Amino acid sequence: MLKLNLIYFLEKREILTMNYPLHVIARKKISALFNAFLSLFYTKDPIAQTIDPQEVKHILIIRPNYRIGNLLFLTPLINELHKHIPDAKIDVIVGMKLAGKILEPLPNVDKVIDIPRKLLLHPIELIHYIKQTRKKKYDVAINISGGSTSTQIVTALANAHYKVSFYSDKLWAGFTHVQERGEKTHKHMGLESLEFLRFFNIPIPQHATLDIKNTPEELQQAQNDLKNLLVQHNHAGKKTIALFRNARFDKKIEDSWWNQWVEALYKEDENIVVIDILSPDIPHKLNENVLEYANKDLRVLGAFFKMCDLYVSADTGPMHLAVASGAKVLALFNKTDKEIYGALGTNNTTIDVEDLSAQEVATITLEQLHS
């Protein structure tokens, strides 16, 4: 009981420092208690074992998450597995059908399976999902999220010979291979998935980034979209900045600030155009001085970011999509840690804007645009 209370206290202290809404805090508390209870029935002595890559032909990566950034953070692992185990096919379990489409065209990905939200409230869909999950046999199931309740439920259901995870006091899903995490090779969360290469005795690369491997067709479509947009509004030949205004919780920058930023940009350089990226949460463009673009195909949207001369946003999933598509990125952070969540890649820049004016950030934006 003492251990259960300790886990609950640590989880409570962590979530209360993140400025989450009350419903998110409540969900995390319930999940922590659930995991702590089930973990009491699991032998938690870590088993430092590895798997022979020659045994592996079918891999299941389990990440039932609803955030685009967290799914993009799987691409370094998927790409490295393709490099070192080229004959292995990978299925990925995600929590967002639209975002899951990002991963399907990767050369070693066979299938992306999405878990509907609130699955437990729909028994028929739940039974169908369980049958689908257990239908295929995998050599290895990789539990990306450690003690996550949803990930462990899926891991327990998966029909896999080996089930691997890094050690956590919250584990209960009957893993065959568990390792102590130890010191991470990379601090950035986008490269954390590379740590799972240790289970296959594959060296972790020192230099890596996100990469969705856009196809030539996607790049051509994005280039055509950008060209047509500029010609339509008589802006052909101008430098282009793609702007995405949305972000989660207190990471979001207010539209009033963005308006000042756009005004300052146009005052300093008349030969540029800002393209406001619309989405279901941002249905209308910022003002009459910007263009607008939207695309439900996230891979083509990422390619569009690459076609623009610069992409700008706060800390948000589309920022990581821009990185994974090879765009030139300027990320504006106000709450989160730049070293852990900033824009990866030597061509990209992440700045803290908490104490900077819109005018100062506009000057930095133009420097990045023309560098």
Q: Identify the CATH number of the domain in which residue 243 sits.
A: 3.40.50.2000
Quick one: 256 and 174 in the same domain? no
* Structure-token match 């490295």, residue found: 80
Quick one: 314 and 350 in the same domain? yes
Residue 4 placed within a domain: no
Quick one: 174 and 67 in the same domain? yes
The 8-class DSSP code of residue 202 comes to P
Quick one: 353 and 294 in the same domain? yes
Residue 288 placed within a domain: yes
Closest by alpha carbon to 210, among 336, 341, 326?
326
Domain count, the chain: 2
Number of helices and strands (H, E) in the chain? 13, 12
Average pLDDT, stretch 23-45?
Answer: 58
Residue 23 placed within a domain: no
The alpha carbon of 138 is separated from its chain's Cα centroid by a whole number of angstroms, namely 24
pLDDT band at 14, cuts 50/70/90? Answer: very low
Quick one: 289 and 361 in the same domain? yes
Ranked by mean pLDDT, the top range of 34-38, 45-49, 265-269 is 265-269
Q: In angstroms, rounded to a whole number, what is the distance separating the alpha carbons of residues 360 and 264?
A: 9
Average pLDDT, stretch 117-134?
Answer: 69
Quick one: 191 and 259 in the same domain? no
For 65-78, the pLDDT digits (tens) are 888 999 999 999 99
Sheet holding 291-293, edge to edge: 291-293, 272-277, 239-244, 310-313, 329-333, 349-352
Contact 230, 257 (CB under 8 A): no
Average pLDDT, stretch 252-259?
Answer: 98
pLDDT, mean over the chain? 87
Q: What is the pLDDT of residue 291?
A: 98
The alpha carbon of 122 is separated from its chain's Cα centroid by a whole number of angstroms, namely 27
Q: What is the pLDDT of residue 80?
A: 98
> Tokens in use for 181?
């995490």
Q: What is the pLDDT of residue 169?
A: 81
Judged against a pLDDT cut of 90, whether residue 126 lies above it is answered with no
3-state percent helix, strand, coil for the chain, nearest multiple of 5: 45, 15, 40
The dihedral built from the CA positions of residue 299, 304, 310 and 316, taken in this order, carries a sign that is: negative
Element (H, E) at 61: strand 58-62
Quick one: 186 and 51 in the same domain? yes
Instruction: List all residues 6 or more positions away from 316 whose beta carbon is below 8 Å from its beta carbon.
Output: 69, 244, 246, 247, 248, 251
Quick one: 166 and 228 in the same domain? no
Top-confidence residue, 220 or 129: 220
Judged against a pLDDT cut of 80, whether residue 81 lies above it is answered with yes
Low-confidence winner among 135-149, 309-323, 349-363 (lowest mean pLDDT): 135-149
Judged against a pLDDT cut of 80, whether residue 97 lies above it is answered with no
Quick one: 146 and 220 in the same domain? no
> Tokens in use for 294?
């939207």
Q: What is the pLDDT of residue 3?
A: 35
Please report how the helices 298-307 and 317-324 are oriented relative to each other, as an axis angle in degrees rounded to 10: 70
Residue 271 placed within a domain: yes
Per DSSP, what are the bridge partners of residue 350?
331
Question: Where among 174, 200, 226 does a domain terminate?
Answer: 200
Average pLDDT, stretch 81-93?
Answer: 96
Quick one: 272 and 349 in the same domain? yes
As a whole-number percent, the residues of the chain with pLDDT over 90 amount to: 68
Residue 279 placed within a domain: yes
Q: Look up the domain containing 340 and give its range.
A: 216-370
Query: Which amino acid is residue 107, in one-letter code?
Result: P
Quick one: 127 and 253 in the same domain? no
Q: In angstroms, rounded to a whole number, what is the distance separating the alpha carbons of residues 181 and 53?
A: 20
What would you report as the CA-atom Rg of the chain, rounded to the nearest whole angstrom? Answer: 22
